Structure 1
Amino acid sequence: MSQQGNPWWKEPWPWLLMAGPLVAMVACGVTIWLASAHPDMPVQGATRHGLVVEKVEAVAPKSAAARQP
């Protein structure tokens, strides 16, 4: 006896298995969009040197302490 099955697009399992990667791709797109829409968020008391962001308060006492004998 031969059973005729439903076409694959009418079965729930392929859609359930494809949902995880699809959600991850959408979340990645949203993350990229947010990063490009807000590239520089202002931070009080910080300075940027290329890709490195340093706090001004944390840097000043170290350099002052290093100069003292």
Structure 2
Amino acid sequence: MTKGTFIKRDSRTGKFIVGREGISKLNAMEGIRQSPSSKAMFADFDKRNVPHDQRREAIVAKHRKRD
């Protein structure tokens, strides 16, 4: 019997926690790939240590429909 991978749970909420690598694998299974511009954006976020709320704002601004 082979060992499976362990998926973390938040001890407070009981919800599953899936990291960036895990979600990339799940998306690849569904045929969804991250664009080069998105990869560069996330690398820049990591390099500059951008807080989560500012990351969300930048992502929404990038994908917001323009009139």
Scaled to the shorter chain, the TM-score interval is under 0.3
TM-score w.r.t. length of structure 2: 0.22
Question: Which structure would you say has the larger Rg?
Answer: 1
More strand by proportion, 1 or 2? 1
TM-score w.r.t. length of structure 1: 0.22
More helix by proportion, 1 or 2? 1
